[in-house]
Amino acid sequence: MGKEYAELEPAIREWISQQKIFFVSTAPVSPDGLVNCSPKGMDTFRVLGPRTLAYLDLTGSGVETIAHLRENGRITIMMCAFDGPPKIFRFYGRGEVFEKGSDRYGELISEFIGLPGVRSIIHIDVDRIIDSCGYSIPLYDHRGERDVLSKWAEKKGEEGVQRYQQENNRVSLDGLDGLH
């Protein structure tokens, strides 16, 4: 059975720091809207406090997470251990989007390493922290990070990435506002 935690204890923080992938889930208010689940990787996830998380949001083909957070703020982060002892954590909370260039983005960016193609920081106030066994999760060996997104962003350059975001990240699949 899973356990609920009051905060991100040191052992949980250590476990988080060892994970190579996390999953972000959001959904619009509309029952006809699309539930979104996105895998994320690279060195983009941070624990900022006992009930505070953030991740560096890199430019992607869609803008569902940003649009859903702007609409209702609900977000769930899930992490699974793919090596070592089996474990799953889910972090339920309220998220905010701090777009590149905003004051709050400027305050938080020092927590992260420099990566090309960044469009925002997703900041999460955690309401619930729950673990579960993960007994059925397979073992995988991490062979390294893919560099495709970084190379794409470097090739486009800052202005090219901004143009891409304006053309592709302004509206979600459900027609909700994305990047401003």
Which pLDDT tens digits describe the chain residue by residue (180 residues)? Answer: 689 999 999 999 999 999 999 999 999 999 999 999 999 999 999 999 999 999 999 999 999 999 999 999 999 999 999 999 999 999 999 999 999 999 999 999 999 999 999 999 999 999 999 999 999 999 999 999 999 999 999 999 999 999 999 999 999 999 999 999
Task: Please state, in angstroms and rounded to a whole number, the distance separating the CA atoms of residues 132 and 143.
Answer: 26
Query: How far is it, in rounded angstroms, from Cα 137 to Cα 109?
Result: 33
Domains of the chain, each with CATH number or no CATH: 4-168 (2.30.110.10)
Q: What is the pLDDT of residue 1?
A: 65
Confidence (pTM)? 0.96
Distance CA 82, CA 140 (A): 5
Show the 3-state SS of 141-169.
Answer: CCCCCCCHHHHHHHHHHHHHHHHHHHHHC
